[in-house]
Structures are given as C-alpha cells and as structure tokens.
Structure 1
Amino acid sequence: MKYGIIVCCWLLVLSACRSNQQKLMTTIAATGMLQDKEENGIHYRLQYLPPAKKGEMDLLRFRLTISNSDGSTLKNTSDVAYTYGLDSMFAFVNVTDTTAPVDIVRVANGNIGGLEYMLLFDRPLAYSQVNCRLLFRDYLFNHKYITFPVQGAAINHIDSLSLDL
C-alpha cells in the first residue's frame, strides 16, 4: 500500500512536469519563436531555446535545423565549411544594434538528413518590440540572406514560463 501511494505521487509529479513542458512548447510555437522557411528546396527551422536555470540568462540560444524540403539527404555536408567559420554568417539585430554570435556549434545528434546548429548570442539589455531579427547569410546552400523575425516580448514571456518567474 505504501509503495502504491509513492508511485501515484511520482506519477502526479511527472504529469505536472510534462504539462508545464507542453505549455512551454505550445507558447514557443504560438509566439513565433518556432519558425519554418523554405528557399530553393532547402528547409530552415529556427527554434528559440529558453534557459533552464536562472544562471543561464546571459545568453540567447537558438537551434537552426537545415534540411532538404523533399526529405532527401543533403550532399557533401562533411566538408569543413559546414562546421568551422560559421560565426560570420549569423547576426542578431535589435533595431540598429547588430550583435555577432558568441559561438556557433554544429550539433552532432545523428541527423542524417540535414544539419543542426546551436546559435549563442549575448542577451541584449532591452529588446525592441518590433525590429528584432536573426540574420543568416546563407553562403552554404542558397547564397541568400535568410531573415527570421524575433519578438523581444515573446522571449521575455517564454523565459518567465521556463523559469517559473
């Protein structure tokens, strides 16, 4: 009987954590912090990653996934150009203030069909309500500028949900 009560309590705690995670993911999608773009047969997906702890509030984290629109495998992605020297291709623009990334890391997660990058930027002191965007100078696939609009208010809202502020 005692173990049954303990198991029920754990299931209740796990379901509460899961519902909080689902609420966070729903909010990320609803606020435009999960964006998909298509350019010349290449699919780009940008997702904002909220901080997990209060001490991680100094950086903005984004995940960029690049794949073919038809689901086929990207060719020649083992070249060093897809892994090194990527910091010159990204920028976070907050009105007229452009911030270069702190680090760009290619994520080795076993994604055979495409590439995934972790983008790290210094967090600005204040966000514009209208003119924030993440700029990707795509010299690897399309040779175009890909722009993802970002809402500063949405970042603050998602961070408050993530940290239970």
Structure 2
Amino acid sequence: MVGMKGKNLATILVFIAFLIAGIAYITLTKKNNIPEYETPSPEKVVEQYFTAWSNKNYPDMYAAISDGFKKIEPTAKDLGAFKEYAESQGIDNARILSIKESSNDGNTAAVDYSVEFSFANGAKSKFDGTFTLKYRQGDVIPGWKLIHPYGENIDTT
C-alpha cells in the first residue's frame, strides 16, 4: 500500500514538474505579437497629411498636427472644427508632386513639398511650400508633428 502511494506521489510530482517546465518554456519563448510602433519620419508625416486630405481622412490629418498648434488655432481646437475648416477649402484631391526633407537636427525638421490641389469646380492649382515639424514626445500621439500647417499661428512650445 505504501509503495502504491509513493508511486502515485512520484507520478504526480513528475507531471507537475513537466507542467511547470512546459509553462516556463512557452512563457519564455513566446514572441510578443504586438508590433513595435515606429515613429514615421518627417517626410512620411507630410506624405500622410496630404494623402489623408485626398482621402478626406480628417482624423489622420488632425493627428499629424502638434497639440500646441491645436491649442492656439481656433480652426484646429478639436476634430470637428478642423474637419469643417478642411472641408471649407473645397479641395477634392491633393496630388503629391514631391516631398523632400531639407533639414533635421533630431528635434526640428523642415520638409519641402510640392502638391497639386484639385478643386470641386474642376480647377487645379500647384502649391509649393515648406512644413516645419518638431518631434513632440509629450503629445497625445508622440512623434513628428506639423507646428504650422496653415494660418498665422505657429506652435512655439
């Protein structure tokens, strides 16, 4: 009888040891399926801004703008105001002709761009400019942000 209890106890202990070893193996070798977020480059942010404009994807456009600009520009105070402003421009499409980063010190970047706007009435207009972007670690969505996408206000924070 004692031999049977000892054998059962040994079997249970071996089973528990294999179970613990299996759990440890799975835990230690399991790859994290959450992809690491990579901050888009300044050029990519400008590209996303104009692409989102063409697609009427105002949340993505709005996400490219610095939180500081949103605080000082009435037409960017919230997504609703920004959408209303963007729609009021009458732009149906923003075709990107060129985007080129002209400077970047790790905190501030300048990106030259050339776009062709197509309007609801069929007219087209080429526009060349330079966006200044700052790397904003403290924004709700950290990364490179446009500090002066339009208007007179400039985020100097």
Q: When the two structures are superposed, what TM-score results if normalisation uses the length of structure 2?
A: 0.29
Q: If each structure's strand is expressed as a fraction of its own residues, which one has the higher value? A: 1
Q: When the two structures are superposed, what TM-score results if normalisation uses the length of structure 1?
A: 0.28
Q: If each structure's helix is expressed as a fraction of its own residues, which one has the higher value? A: 2
User: Between Structure 1 and Structure 2, whose CA radius of gyration is higher?
Assistant: 2
